[in-house]
Structure 1
């Protein structure tokens, strides 16, 4: 039996856990290199002809991924997905923009919410944002393979391009003049969320058509960015389905 090769180049990374791996196996756009499973792991999915299942000991996955990683006995070595161009968003209804959100757990959770609430695409900055990783994919629970992702070099320019294509661009800040619940999601909308702590950068905020706030109890100063984003996406989703 051929001994598994556990070396991967810097552009490849390991996905782990049932949801992340199975969604990647079902994604024709995902380049897959190596599949490792433990002896007792069930995998009820048809594999691509170019990929075979390699049986390894649990200790090998623990060593490869980290002893505290919950890998469920399965790991898949992949290449990152290709980023889409900003033009992809022009004819869409609702897009989400993340301004330098770097925590992979937050970005993964946000992608999961974006899929749940029918967001058409997520736009990230090319620098200073979370890159694809096993942690991000695990937090996304399969959503990384389903959500179209656009990476841009200049976020302000991307916002201006969306505005030129009839998008109304709304940012979120605790000092926003209008509450989210009072906003009308009837038109093409770009929802913009800043990094946890610093929030949106100055140029990003200046590019917004409007700054909104999420009403909340004075007992808590702020929300985690993934929680705040989920609230905004839910409000946009309920507005869209009620307008159909």
Structure 2
């Protein structure tokens, strides 16, 4: 501690300000405070003016939106905040630092996606353009439906005739016969019950087979026993 104290005491103290420098520093501080107060007062007046404009404009039910002139980021944030507090929608368009502006809308009449896209591209927008886009979409939808219907109804047409493909191999007449559509014989493999000779039931058939087997066994038993007799 003694060493540290001796080092601190040996260091040169910062030069003290002269009276003129103190007065100049005080004036600069006062000027800064004055500018800050002026900026606050300016923003307050701007806020009051915008709020009054929003209320008076949207009191008329025929007014659906309101456009503001391009402004800086601080002023835009104030407009967005006031629009939200008044129950309105706010959107910013344009390039920041160049021509970015705000447009306010009623919540019950918000902008459509087409309008937002057009304004973001810097293109004009009005009711005539909106109706023109609606009619264009209707026409495109009808064309798609018509094209889909025609595609379903269109029959397949082969690129070549099937009978001509083999005409050079087996002749024109034979190829024509080979290309004819064949139909399956639906009666193939089926025998009507009235044409069957055996009209016995399954149970009766099984019983007859069993009886035949038993008869065959009985007929072979004497032969087998006779072979065991001495000569």
Q: TM-score range by the shorter chain?
A: under 0.3
What TM-score results when the alignment is normalised by the length of structure 2? 0.19
Structure number with higher strand proportion: 1
Larger Cα-atom Rg: 2
